[in-house]
Each structure stands twice: as structure tokens, then as C-alpha cells.
Amino acid sequence: MERWKILLAGSLVGFFGVLLVKFGNPVNMGVCVACFVRDIAGALGMHRAEMVQYIRPEIAGFILGSFVIALFFKEFRPRGGSAPLIRFVLGFFLMTGALVFLGCPLRMILRLANGDLNALVGLFGFTAGIIAGIQFIKQGFSLGRSYSQTRVSGYLMPAFAIVLLMLLMAKPAFIFFSQKGPGSLHAPVALSLVAGLAIGAVLQRTRLCTAGGIRDAVLLKDFYLLWGLLAVFLVALLGNLLFNFGQFKLGFVGQPVAHSQHLWNFLGMFLAGTAAVMLGGCPLRQTILAGEGDIDAGVTVLGMLVGAAFSHNFGMAASAQGVSANAQIGVLIGIVVVFLIGLGVIAHNLGMHRKERIGIGS
């Protein structure tokens, strides 16, 4: 029964990944948290890349779907205080890596399901990053426990999601909307919101996570989440062949919103995978956690938002034309920073453990 639940959850994500493209989202971008957050940052004026500015209602749906279902099942638990500033930085660099690859780990699967073999290189990098993150965990990496917070704290991210929807509907002059490029392509608002709410609710119940699926398989030999990821791929592949066959293209060259600089596809997702393991979840999982009251996950989402804006303001995001020098430097800096964070946290935790063993401090 548990396996059927995760298979159904993955199938739902794969289905909406195809359906949203069919009704207007960019090709291979039916569901992509990195792309959606980047577009929202542009719409809010945090960057001025005119081709990627739109308030994606799917993000609001992920948060609100998780929020409502968590309330219903009494799993809404405001909590936080687990190294929030480190989580912000990790979210920032997770986005840096994803925007060099041009997509979050979920879009990586959807790209692969539509024939984009560049995503296979990204998958290798993502897996390598997760394995690197696991090594940190084995050596004692932990951001510490979270603590119960006031309920109003847990309401902040759902309130932010509602504000985004209000701005999308009102379209005030200070919100930017792309007139061309990926930001101008989107499914109807109602469909996007329904998809987001459904995915948010189902993933809150099943805990489906791209990073968690590979992490658990490698670290614990637990394939529960991996079954869900396989379902995402197979349903999206079948859907593309049946409904979007004209867009299906097997190969490396000429893929939509993608590039074939394999080293940077690998390293971008390596950075994203390492950061995701340290954070305890992929970008989509962070939005789900933020909806159910995890303030630290909310801080991570804000870090991703700022990271997206920074990447575009400083030329650190890749494009279909390739990876700029700034983007290459950004990924390398991100890998160094993330590794230094990992080593620093391990050293701190080991020091605290030694003190506890000899009874000095707490």
C-alpha cells in the first residue's frame, strides 16, 4: 500500500508536468521550482531579465496545498531555529547550481522524459552531489534540531503565497510580466493553481523528494521515494509520447531551454545535490515543508529567491547559448562555500560532542 501511494504521487507529478506544457508552460518546464522561483523574482523586480518575469501560481499552490492538507491532518507544526542563516546560504547556492543547469532536479527528470540527454549528465552530477552530501552526514554533519514556534510564524509562508496570487490577479504596475521568452509562456492561471494545490497536498502526505529518493537509496537502501521518482519519469515519458510527441526529441543538441556544456551541467547539479542533502530536501520539498509550518524551509525558499535574483543580476545564470564565465565562477564558488559549511558544521558538532562526553558545557 505504501508503494502504491508513492507511485500515485509520482504519477500525479508526471501527469501535471506534461499537462501544463500542453496548455502553455514552456517545453520541459511543466513543473520546475527553480525556473518558477526565478520568474517570480523577476516579476517582483528583483532582477530585470525581461524574458523570465512571471508570478507562477504553481509555487503558491505548492505552499497552500501543503498548508491546507497539513492543517486537515493536524500536521501543521510551526517550528524553526535550525541554523536558519546557513539554510539561507545553502538555498542561495542550490539555486546557483540549478540555474547553471537550467532547471531544478524535478525538471531534470522531466527533461529526460522528453528526450533531453543533457539531463542525463545533470542526473550524474546530482547523484554525485548527493553522495558527497552523504559523506558529510556520515562524518557528523547536522544543522541541529528545530524548536516549536508561534503559530503566526507558520502562517507567514502561506500568507506570502496568497499575496503572490493577489499580485498575479491584480497585475499592478510595479509587477513585471514577460512579453516574450519563457516568462511569457504559461498555462491558464486556474489550471496552474489547481496543479500546484494537488501536488502540494499529495507531496505533503507522501514526502516525495528528488534528493531524498537518491539519498535514501544510497544511504539506507530504502527505495520508497525512488519508486515515486521512477513514476514521475515513466508517466511524463508516456504523456510526452502520446500528447506532446511533436515536441519529443531524443539527443543533446537543440533541446528547449538547455545547453550542452556537459561539465557545467554536471557541476551545476553537483552543487544542487550537495546543498539539497545538507538542507534535507530538494527545492520542491522545501516549498512543501514551508507550507506545513517549517520556518527553516521558508528561509531556504527565500534564499532560493534571492539566489535567483543574484544569478540574473550578475550574469551567473546559464542560457540556451551556454554558460558564461560568471556562471562558471559562481558554481565553483558555490561548491567551495558549501563544502566549507559542511566541514565547519562537522568540526563544531564534533567539538560539542567531545565537550559533552567530558562534561564541559552544553
Q: What is the pLDDT of residues 201-232, one digit of tens each?
A: 999 999 999 999 999 999 999 999 999 999 99
Ramachandran assignment for 293, one of left (phi > 0), alpha (psi -120 to 50 degrees), beta (any other): left
Query: In the prediction, which pLDDT does 18 show?
Result: 96
Evaluate the CA torsion angle 100, 216, 81, 142 in order and state its sign.
Answer: negative
Classify 294 as helix, strand or coil. Answer: strand
Residue range 169-189: mean pLDDT, rounded: 97
> Residues 90-116: what's their mean pLDDT?
98
Tens of pLDDT, residues 149-159? 999 999 999 99
Is residue 142 predicted with pLDDT exceeding 90? yes
Contact 301, 91 (CB under 8 A): yes
Secondary structure of residue 285 in the 3-state scheme: helix
pLDDT at 362 (0 to 100):
44
- Grouping H, G, I as helix, E, B as strand and the rest as coil, residue 322 is strand
> With contact defined as beta carbons under 8 Å apart, do 312 and 38 qualify?
yes
* Interval 182-199: pLDDT, tens: 999 999 999 999 999 999
Q: Are 344 and 283 in contact (CB under 8 A)?
A: no
| pLDDT above 70: residue 98 | yes
Average pLDDT, integer, range 1-6: 85
Q: What is the pLDDT of residue 244?
A: 73
Give the C-alpha separation, 359 to 362, whole Å: 8
Name the average pLDDT for the chain.
96
Predicted confidence (pLDDT) at residue 29 exceeds the cutoff of 60: yes
C-alpha angle with apex 293: 287 to 299, nearest 5 degrees? 55
Work out the pLDDT band at 360, boundaries 50, 70, 90.
low
Q: What pLDDT score does 352 carry?
A: 81
**What pLDDT score was predicted for residue 1?**
56
Q: What is the pLDDT of residues 254-270, one digit of tens each?
A: 999 999 999 999 999 99
Strand pairing partners for 322?
319
